[in-house]
């Protein structure tokens, strides 16, 4: 399997658009996880933007 397909950023024509969407999704994750009780270890395992 070609290595470039293992990086999802490489599947987008516009790498900057991918980065922006990744940051948006990470922020949505953090906003959503604030609604739930979970350990710091679980929070730290989540996405960082």
Of 32, 25, 18, 31, which is closest to residue 49 (Cα–Cα)? 25
Mean pLDDT for all residues in the chain: 87
Question: What residues contact residue 22 under an 8 Å CB cut-off, 6+ apart?
Answer: 9, 47, 49
- Residue 38 confidence (pLDDT) above 90: no
Structural domain boundaries enclosing 29: 3-45
Domain count for the chain? 1
Q: How high is the pLDDT of residue 3?
A: 81
pLDDT-based confidence at residue 13 (cuts at 50, 70, 90)? very high
Percent share of the chain, pLDDT over 70: 98
């Amino acid at each position: 399997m070609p290595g470039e397909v293992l990086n999802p950023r490489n599947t987008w024509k516009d790498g900057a658009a991918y980065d922006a969407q990744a940051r948006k999704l990470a922020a949505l994750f953090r906003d959503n996880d604030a609604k739930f009780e979970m350990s710091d270890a679980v929070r730290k395992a989540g996405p960082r933007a």
